[in-house]
Amino acid sequence: MGPFIVSARKYRPATFDTVVGQEAVTETLKNAIRTGHLAQAFLFTGPRGVGKTTCARILARTINCEQLHDDLSTCGECAPCKTFEEGHSLNIFELDAASNNSVDDIRNLILQVQIAPQVGTKKVYIIDEVHMLSAAAFNAFLKTLEEPPSYAIFILATTEKHKILPTILSRCQVFDFRRITVADTVRHLAGIAVKEDIQAEPQALHVIAQKADGGLRDALSIFDQLVSFSGHRLSYQDVVTNLNVLDHEHYFSITEAILKGDTAACLLEFDTILRNGFDGHLFIAGLGHHFRDLLVARDPRTIGLLEVSEDLNARYLKQGAAAPRHLLFDGLERIAQCDAQYKLVKEPRLLVELTLIQLCRLADKGDADNGNAAMPAAASAPPATAKATAPGNVSAEASTLAQKKSPDGPVAPPQATATPAPAPVKATSVAAPDPVRRSTGLPSLRQIQAEAERVQAPVAAPPSAAPEETALDKPEAASLLPVNNALLLKVWKDYALERKREGKNSLHATLVAREPEPEGPGKVRFVIVNEVQEKYMREEKPALLGHLRRALGDEKLELEIVKVEVTDNRPRYTPKDRFNLMAERNPALLKLREELDLDLG
């Protein structure tokens, strides 16, 4: 048995027709050879393992062949072809710029260029990883590259085109090599499997192609590794086991549980994945890719974007049709947030589990919305007494009053039997009028609830202990979800920074002047101190509230903006103290300080 040769070398293309996935490049080079319009400098750029050096060698061999066939395939019998196959061609020179990147190396190359070819008509210089040349070496190479001898052709190859000097690029014909598609990679691997007498499942080859990420050399290396493990039969299970790839079955099972709103099944499946040794970040990234495939499977126009086997293609079509579009859209957004926050949190498993719970709630919400849409308007509307009897501080007496309707006039609210509390601090509310008020003269349910809370409330503190407050909004508390304070602060700061990037420095100063505070389940409170901040927050509240609801995963979250009159007029003795006092009243001073880089001394 002869020595083992890896597939990337054993099946390296020898002609332009055998190059995989680069038809645009190979056809252009073939036409240039036929018409004799060959440039003297080429630049081949693209990702790793897509055929740059291979095409350079094929081009060099083709233009030196003395008996070229009509299809531009080499004869293999002339002296240039034989010396090329034996590996000591005098007309083709390969230079690794990663290890020969100095000015002296380029000088030696320029000296070699001055010598005419002894066999054949062209001397080809292939410089691989050309972006590794130093700036001085590039400058030394410029003159020779622009005006080489008629028999010299330079082929530069690189994976990082942006690192090459523009003066070099302008002297070359640039060919951009694209990533090899999954279909082309699978087709090439299947052909090699047939030649090597290996039985490979199509789904296994698809996983290898996806893992290679567009690099054919990577795909062939993975193929050799798996063949060494499994022998002459390459199964899908062997591939996912050895490549640390999550089986598609996990994602299909998770999605089925999400569609049913089965939170327990999702958490158990995720626990199984962790017990099998997979990383939670890998799982959440794969779940996002799975949701993306389900989304493109819903539309016949985008089915071609699915790069999976035929069996999986049918399953994606079936599950994609069953998944609501709103669930896929919102789910992708939640998964993207989880992916971005995964490395920042101290409990990544809890973050992933919270995301799965939110996805199940999205599915439940869609079902509830569909059910309410099918019900008549009168049947779907809650009774008027539901709000008055909601859990909270409302007494049984207030509930009874809310249910009574007296024809003689309004029902008097209950009288307090305890010691009356001192008069509260005057506060002006800008809340909307009560939508439950009717023209019959009955007191509104909000008034009844407020009176009941006043009756049961403990004795309040003296008025001097509480500052004067002006509530901009009085939202109706409808959410019972607790607010994660750490996540709230992070989301709030990120939102403030985004506004700063947009040039809204005054709004940014208002948002970072104080921290938001959770006020019980489903409610956040933010304090402002002057009219300028009040104006900014009124305009920004709808967008801010929508962002908080999406980021915290609570569609019923409410944000209360409270204006507090600052009564602390104590003298400030240091410049910093005086500046902070002025900045509280006028946040624009913070912007002025940042722009002028002022020192408070």
Residues of the chain with CATH 3.30.300.180: 485-567
Task: Enumerate residues 6+ apart whose C-beta is below 8 A from 504.
Answer: none
441 within 8 A of 407, measured Cβ to Cβ: no
**Residue 44 token pair:** 């081949």
Query: What's the gap between Cα 365 and its chain centre?
Result: 25
User: SS3 for 513?
Assistant: helix
E strands, 427-505, are 469-471
pLDDT (tens digit per residue) in 519-561: 878 888 888 888 888 888 888 888 888 888 888 888 888 888 8
CATH top-level class for 7-176?
alpha beta
Nearest to 11 by CA among 230, 182, 198: 198
**Residue 69 token pair:** 């066939």
Q: Which regions of the chain are under pLDDT 50? A: 371-443, 445, 448, 452, 455-477
Instruction: Report the distance separating Cα 221 and Cα 209, nearest Å.
Output: 11
Q: Please, where are the H alpha helices in 514-563?
A: 531-552
| Three-state helix/strand/coil letters over 1-57 | CCCCCCHHHHCCCCCHHHCCCCHHHHHHHHHHHHHCCCCCEEEEECCCCCCHHHHHH
110 within 8 A of 94, measured Cβ to Cβ: no
Instruction: Report the distance separating Cα 54 and Cα 15, nearest Å.
Output: 9
pLDDT at 400: 42
Residues of the chain with CATH 1.10.8.60: 182-242
Residues of the chain with CATH 1.20.272.10: 248-370
Place of tokens 């996806």: 210
One-letter amino acid of 447 = Q
Instruction: Report the distance separating Cα 411 and Cα 452, nearest Å.
Output: 14
CB-based burial, 188-209: b 16+ in 10 Å, e otherwise: bbeebbeeeebebbebbbbbbb
pLDDT at 356: 92
Instruction: Report the distance separating Cα 524 and Cα 558, nearest Å.
Output: 6
pLDDT (tens digit per residue) in 48-57: 888 888 999 8
Fold of 182-242: Helicase, Ruva Protein; domain 3 (1.10.8)
**Residue 363 token pair:** 């599915």
Fold of 248-370: Zinc Finger, Delta Prime; domain 3 (1.20.272)
CATH top-level class for 485-567?
alpha beta
